[in-house]
Amino acid sequence: MLTEKRNAGFKAAEYVEDGMFIGLGTGSTAKHAIDKIAKRIRKEGLEITAVPTSESTRIMAEDLDIPLSSLDDVNRIDLTIDGADEVDPNKNLIKGGGGALLREKMVAFQSDYEIIIIDQSKMVENLGVDFDLPVEIVPYWKKATIRQLEKLGCVCDFRMNKNDLFKTDNHNYIIDCSFEQIEDPHRLSQDLNKIPGVIENGLFVDLADKIIIGKKEGFEEF
């Protein structure tokens, strides 16, 4: 699995060009792309500015001396490289396994081009069958929000961090919603975000431009 993730991440890093503003994703596969980008900066003199999608990514990028900025301070993002928890044949995604879905979606939405890097295990025919959908909610009246989520046909569980409720970088909670299958990601995403108390959901629809699937030898793109 490590080889597949590395092959996908390294290939995606090749798309970074001098002078770009780039979004740096979060997760085990994105780390390989970040590492390769840092090596290109050192070896090639590549000049880029990056916007991290999580605190963990920010710390990693700073340690690798990648120049960073904020989404508030850039007019556009040329390219974002990120991972995913599930990808369907239409390039719809489930993200948020690492709890960074809100910032990831904000960066993806403002990107001209997004590359998603995965290993083969993340490719599925239908979203939500094997991976619960993360939904970020405000801490206030959380049980009331969950009751509304369950009306959409899912079973909800608080994400935990050992014995405590998991908190995102934004100090919100993550609810992992189990659907038997997500038949219409577009509609479900809209329905979820209509619920007061929901900050954002982990369905990324019409945001990914290219998928790179790492293989034991090489990669596949679509």
| Alpha carbon distance 92, 205 (integer Å) | 5
Distance, in Å, from the CA atom of 48 to the CA atom of 116, rounded to the nearest integer, reads 19
DSSP code per residue over 31-94: HHHHHHHHHHHHHH----EEEESSHHHHHHHHHTT--B--GGG-S-BSEEEE--SEE-TTS-EE
Round to whole Å and give the CA distance between 152 and 122: 25
Closest listed residue to residue 114, CA positions, set 127, 122, 124, 104? 104
**Active-site residue flag, 150:** no
Q: Which of 4, 104, 114, 136 is catalytic?
A: 104
So which residues are the catalytic ones? 104
